[in-house]
């Protein structure tokens, strides 16, 4: 399964975990680290890309838990 999950700030200052393109949050927490931990677990299980955003909405980091397009032998 492909797709993405995002850790994003919620309007009230907390943090949400959302699937890419979704309106509603999969999870909602009061701090970013909890949201990242939850999102990483969801992303691993779903085989998706994980994007972690800052308070300004910009992507700070990302992890690949899905089908990585780089096929490196070695």
Strand order in the sheet with 49-53: 27-29, 15-19, 4-9, 49-53, 59-64
- Give the number of residues written for the chain: 74
Global confidence as pTM: 0.84
Domain boundaries, the chain: 4-62
Calculate Rg over the CA atoms of the chain: 13
pLDDT for the residue numbered 73? 55
Please tell me which residue, 67 or 18, carries the higher pLDDT value.
Answer: 18
pLDDT for the residue numbered 67? 60
């Amino acid at each position: 399964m492909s797709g993405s999950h995002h850790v994003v700030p919620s309007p009230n200052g907390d943090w949400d975990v959302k699937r890419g393109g979704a309106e509603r949050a999969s999870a909602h927490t009061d701090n970013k680290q909890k949201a990242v931990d939850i999102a990483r677990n969801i992303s691993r299980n779903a085989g998706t890309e994980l994007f972690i955003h800052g308070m300004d909405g910009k992507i700070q980091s990302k992890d690949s838990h899905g089908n990585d397009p780089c096929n490196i032998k070695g």
